[in-house]
């Protein structure tokens, strides 16, 4: 199984602090400055989330987000933007962003965002199949007869 990884896409600063924070979640940190770099990392890692600095990539945030969703479809995309260039949450969410963070990154806000990522990943992994009343009745009868392990 490959290492669960968070990717910094663009030029997000504070790498050492971010690495220490990711260690709390058991995740590794990789950096990419191009979409090709994201693709290479994604081919050898389980990408949990991508922190996207679209301005550093020279792309409008919508194009950067669409490219990340295409190249790392199972990763949760987190848009990082300078406070001088605000992004409307409703629009970003409609485009597929999982979360928004201001730049420069505030470690407390990043920890909270990563907690949301962690919770979403665990919720996806622990989905329980919904049973209708007929299924539940058959399971109870089978268990009573000793047929269910």
pLDDT digits (tens, 9 = 90+) for 28-58: 999 999 999 999 998 888 999 999 999 999 9
Backbone angles phi, psi at 82, to 5 degrees: -65, 150
At residue 149, the pLDDT reads 46
Q: Name residue, tokens 């190249």.
A: 71
CA-derived radius of gyration, the chain = 19
What is the structure's pLDDT at 140? Answer: 66
Mean pLDDT of 121-134: 68
**Architecture of the domain whose range is 4-144:** 3-Layer(aba) Sandwich (3.40)
Percent of the chain with pLDDT over 70: 84
Overall average pLDDT of the 17-24 stretch: 95
What are the tokens at 44?
């050898």
Of 4, 38, 2, 7, nearest in space to 124 by CA: 4
56-60, 75-79, 101-105, 137-141: segment of lowest average pLDDT: 137-141
Name the band, by pLDDT with cuts 50, 70 and 90, for residue 143.
Answer: low
Mean pLDDT of the chain: 88
């Amino acid at each position: 199984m490959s290492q669960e990884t968070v990717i910094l896409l663009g030029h997000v600063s504070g790498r050492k602090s971010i690495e220490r924070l990711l260690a709390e979640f058991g995740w590794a940190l990789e950096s990419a400055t191009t979409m090709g770099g994201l693709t290479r990392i994604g081919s050898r890692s389980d990408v949990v989330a991508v922190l996207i600095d679209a301005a550093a990539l020279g792309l409008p945030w919508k194009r950067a987000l669409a490219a990340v969703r295409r190249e790392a479809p199972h990763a949760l995309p987190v848009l990082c933007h300078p406070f001088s260039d605000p992004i409307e949450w409703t629009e970003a969410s409609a485009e597929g962003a999982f979360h928004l963070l201001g730049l420069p990154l505030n470690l407390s806000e990043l920890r909270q965002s990563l907690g949301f990522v962690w919770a979403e990943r665990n919720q996806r992994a622990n989905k329980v199949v919904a049973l209708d009343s007929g299924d539940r009745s058959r399971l109870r009868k089978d268990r009573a007869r000793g047929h269910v392990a």
